[in-house]
Structure formats: structure tokens, C-alpha cells
Structure 1
Amino acid sequence: MFTGLSAFPLTPMHEQGVRENEFSRLVERLAKAQVNSIGVLGSTGSYAYLNREERARVTQLAIESAGDVPVIIGIGAMRTRDVLALAEDAQKAGASGVLLAPVSYQTLTDDEVFSHYETVCRSLSVPLCVYDNPGTTHFEFSDELHGRIAQLPQVRSIKIPPVSMNLNAARERVDRLRALIPEDVTLGISGDVVAATGLTAGCDSWYSVLGGLFPETALAITRSAQAGDFKTAQRLSDQLEPFWALYREYGGSLRVIATAAEILGKVSMPCLPLPLNTFQGSRRARVEQVIEELELR
């Protein structure tokens, strides 16, 4: 479950609630493509903008729509109490695993983060993936803290932030962390732009925004890397440079992928929770141009 391609779909919504049929279709498409797992209610799934009841409903829909593909549910929240409730909901619904980021308004200490994971792990009967995403949580994991948390019995993967584009530097980063964690804990790369580099450097999985909308494209990169054909994996990634450029120029992947989903008719407009908005005008036209250029479907 924590190897290969983990595809993270949008949670399309408007201000009245989640667009349930559209979400189910996104998940069904990922299952049909035979991704290795489906990551629901991560950052791409806008988990922080949904209440407990909405998250429980999205979890139920995902598991019903995923068939035999494992579903990993994001359970991040501001308070440990709320994370425990979300973990209970995910487990009752039949989630295969959970994904936890140290979400907070106040800056957390290393000991607070460790205690947070330790408390949550005691309540789990399913495996947990540590979500290291300083861009949204504003918490910087040290390798030593990762090593401590990885010893907890339910921890089975660490979703690391983007590595360097320099392959030697990326390998050093992966090797340094690998030396501090148990052998049965996998490392997964996030950051679509450097996914091929991360997989080549020794990461076991790709936690993918791109894969949530374009699973076949992401699978081609992942399967090449899994087969040891790293040149092909990098070549396929390099071919997506116009899409990666949108990420860099427009401040990340969420609005780009959501705009693409609207353009392709996979979701209705609007699909993001206010105050977030997809692109309009010249930026939207640019996304559409890149989709056509790369023949993404």
C-alpha cells in the first residue's frame, strides 16, 4: 500500500457541500487505472476546509468507489482530540491506512509533535503515513524526529517533501533518513516535479497530485522507476515540464490541477472551497494550452 503510486484526487465542492457524484467518479477512475493506493483528504483533497461529518462522508464515498484499491485517509486536524475522532471514523469506514500531518496554528515543538503521533498511534489498528508538509503546516521535521516517530508501531511510511533536483543530493537525503528508520517503513516522495528524481534516489512511492487526475501519466513514470528504468522515468517527467512550470509560476499544484479538472469536465465549476478559486482569464487559458500541448486526458 505504501509503495508505487498513491494518487491523491481533488474533493470537488461548492459552498453547499461536496459534489459527491463527481468525487466518486474521480476515485473510480483511479481504481480503474490500478493505482497502488488512493490518498483521500490530503492537501489536494482540501481536508482542512471540511468538517468532521463532511470528511466522514468523503471517506465513505472513497471506500465504496475504490474497489480493491487501498484507500488512505487524511486525518490531520488542529487538536489531537479531533484527530482521534477522525481516525475512529476512518477505521470504522474501512480505511486501509491513515495519513497524518502535524497541523497547528501555534508553532509546535518536536516533543509536542512526537506526543501527538504517539497518542494517535495508540488508537490505531491500521497503518499510518507521516505527512511531512512544511509548506502547509509550517513545521519542519528533523531527521532525528522522523527517526523517533518511525519507531512507533503503526507508522509504516513517511511522505517527505520534495528532494533536490540534483540526483546525488537527493540520494544523500534519502540515505540519511533511511539510516534512521526501521526497514519496514517506506519513504514516499511528494512534489510531482521531483518525483522521478525521488524514485531514482531510492524512494519507495510517489504520493502524487498529478496521479489524482492523470493516473495513467503518473503510472508510466512510477512503473518505469519500479522496473529500474530510471532514464525512461526521468524522460517521461521531463516531457511534462510545461505542466511543472505551471506549478512553479502559479504557486503550487492545487489550483493548477483543479483548473485542469474543470477544463476537462471532470468536475464542475467551482470545485474549490472559498476563499480558494481556480484560475480564470489568461492563467486559465495557459493551463488549457498546456493540457492540449501535452495531450493530457
Structure 2
Amino acid sequence: MFNGLSAFPLTPMNETGVDEQAFTRLVENLVLANVSSIGALGSTGSYAYLSRTERQRVAQIAVECAGEIPVMVSIGAVRTRDVLDLAEDAQQVGVKALLLPPMSYQKLTDEDVYSLYQAVTSNISVPLCVYDNPGTTHFEFNDELHGRIAHLPWVGSIKIPGVSVVPDEAKARVDRLRAVIPKHVTIGVSGDTLAATGLNAGCEAWYSVMGGLFPNTAKIMTDTALTGNAAEATRLSRRLEPLWALFRDCGGSLRVIATAAELRQFTTTPSLPLPLRTFTGETRQRIAAVIDELELS
């Protein structure tokens, strides 16, 4: 479940609701690519902008369309009560795993976060992935806290932020975390620009934004790294530098991927919840040029 390419698709939407047909097309594209798992309603899936009812419906569509491919769904919410409700909703529609970020309005302490995971893992019956994403949650995990949480029941993976660009430093970071977690808990890298480095450093999974739209390209790089061909995985990642540059220059990956999904006609415009917007003008033209140049699929 928590190995290989876990592809995180966009949840296309406008102010009237989720575009279910567009979301179905995106999930079907992942099925055709035979990704290892599908991460619905991640940050790229705009989970925080959706109602409880909408989130359960998106999870249901993902499960129905995914067939034999396991679906993981984010259950992040500000209040523990709501997280537990979302976990129950997701399990009712048949997800195979849950993804939990520590969301907050008030700044969280380590004990707050531990108590959240403790409460959730005491009330679920499918594996859980710890979502370490300080860029959106603004909470910084430390290895001691990761170790405590990883020993809770049902925890199966930790989704870490991008590692160091320096291979030896990346490996040292993965090794430090590995030393404090149980053997059955996998480590998955996010931060697409450093995915190859993370996989080469010992991560077992890539929790991928670009994989949610361009799964074939992402899967080749994932499989190459996981079969031990670090040099080729690095080369493949360097070939994608124009895309990584877009992510850096445009304030992250979400708007770039949503714009690319519109350009490839997986969805219509608008595809993001206001006030978020996709790109127009020169930036949109640049995105179109990059995805054509790289022949992303």
C-alpha cells in the first residue's frame, strides 16, 4: 500500500461544486498507468476547501473508479471531532488508507499533535499515513515525535517533505528517521523536485503531485529509483528541471498542475476553489510549452 508511486490527483471544482466527470477522468488516467496507489483529497486535491459531504463523495468516486488500485484519502481538519467523522466517512466508502495532516488555526504543540494521532488510530480500521507538510500546515515535526506516532496502531507510513539536494545528507536524514520508527512503517518522499533524491536515499514511496496528472512519466522515475538505478533516476529528474523550475517560480505546484490539467483538457476553467486561480497570459503559455517540450504523460 505504502510503496512505489502514490499519485495525488487534482479535485477539479468551481464555485458550484466538484466537477465529478473531470475528477473521474483524472482517476481513470491513473488506473491506466497502473500507479501503486491513488492519494485522493491531498493538498493537490484541495481537501481543506470542501465540505464533509463533498469529501465523502470525492472519496467514493475515487474508490469506484480505481478498481484494484488502493485509494488513500486525507481526513485533515482543524478539530479532532471532525477528523474522526471524516475517517468514518472515508472508511464507509471503502478507502484502503487514510492520510492525516495536523491542521490548525491556533499553533499546535507536540502533545496536541500526538493526542490527535492517538485519538484517530484508536478509532480506525485501515492503515494511516502521517502527513508531514509544514508548507501547508505550518507544523514542524521532529524525529522524536515521528517515532512516538509511528508506534501507534495502524500507522503504516510517513509522508515527509523534500529531502536535501545533497545525496549524502538526504540519506542521513532518511536514516535518522528510520532509526526511530518500526520496520513496517515506510517513508515516502513528497516535494516532487527532490523525489529522485529521496527515493535514492531509501524512501520506499513517492507521494507525487505531478504523478496525479502525468503518472507515466512519474512511474518511470519511481520504478527506476526503486530498482536501484540511482544514476538514471537522477538523470530523469534533471530532465524534468523545466517543470521543477515552474513549481519554484510559481509559488508551488498546485496552480501549475491545475493549469496543466486545463491545458490537457482533463478539466475546464476554472478548476480551483476561489480565491485560488490558475494561470493566464505568459505563465500559462510557459506551462504549455514545458509540458509539450517534456512530452509529459
Give the aligned partner of residue 204 of structure 2. Answer: 204
CA–CA distance in structure 2, aligned partners of residues 144 and 132 of structure 1? 14
* Equivalent residue letter for 2:275: P
* Equivalent residue letter for 2:124: L
Give the aligned partner of residue 76 of structure 1. Answer: 76
CA–CA distance in structure 1, aligned partners of residues 144 and 132 of structure 2? 13
TM-score by length of 1: 0.99
CA–CA distance in structure 1, aligned partners of residues 101 and 80 of structure 2? 11
Q: For residues 1-297 of structure 1, what are the structure 2 equivalents within 5 Å?
A: 1-297=1-297
Aligned length: 297
CA–CA distance in structure 2, aligned partners of residues 26 and 249 of structure 1? 25
CA–CA distance in structure 1, aligned partners of residues 199 and 226 of structure 2? 8
CA–CA distance in structure 1, aligned partners of residues 258 and 133 of structure 2? 20
1:90-138 alpha-carbon deviations (Å, 9 max, x no partner) = 1111000000000001100000000000000011100000000000000
User: Aligned-pair distance for 1:293?
Assistant: 1.2
* Equivalent residue letter for 1:229: N
- 4+ aligned runs moved over 2 Å, structure 1: none
CA–CA distance in structure 2, aligned partners of residues 294 and 126 of structure 1? 38
* Equivalent residue letter for 2:241: E
1:159-215 alpha-carbon deviations (Å, 9 max, x no partner) = 000100100000010000000000000000000000000000000000000100000
CA–CA distance in structure 2, aligned partners of residues 32 and 121 of structure 1? 33
* Equivalent residue letter for 1:52: R
**Secondary structure, aligned partner of 1:6:** strand
User: Aligned-pair distance for 1:86?
Assistant: 0.3
User: Aligned-pair distance for 1:296?
Assistant: 1.9
**Secondary structure, aligned partner of 2:207:** strand
CA–CA distance in structure 2, aligned partners of residues 43 and 98 of structure 1? 14
What do you get for the CA RMSD once the two structures are aligned? 0.5
**Secondary structure, aligned partner of 2:279:** coil
- Segments of structure 2 that go 5 or more residues without pairing to the other structure are none
User: Aligned-pair distance for 1:146?
Assistant: 0.2
- Segments of structure 1 that go 5 or more residues without pairing to the other structure are none
Counting aligned pairs with the same residue, the percent is 64
* Equivalent residue letter for 2:145: L
1:125-162 alpha-carbon deviations (Å, 9 max, x no partner) = 00000000000000000110000000001100000001
CA–CA distance in structure 1, aligned partners of residues 242 and 254 of structure 2? 16
**Secondary structure, aligned partner of 1:207:** strand
* Equivalent residue letter for 2:46: S
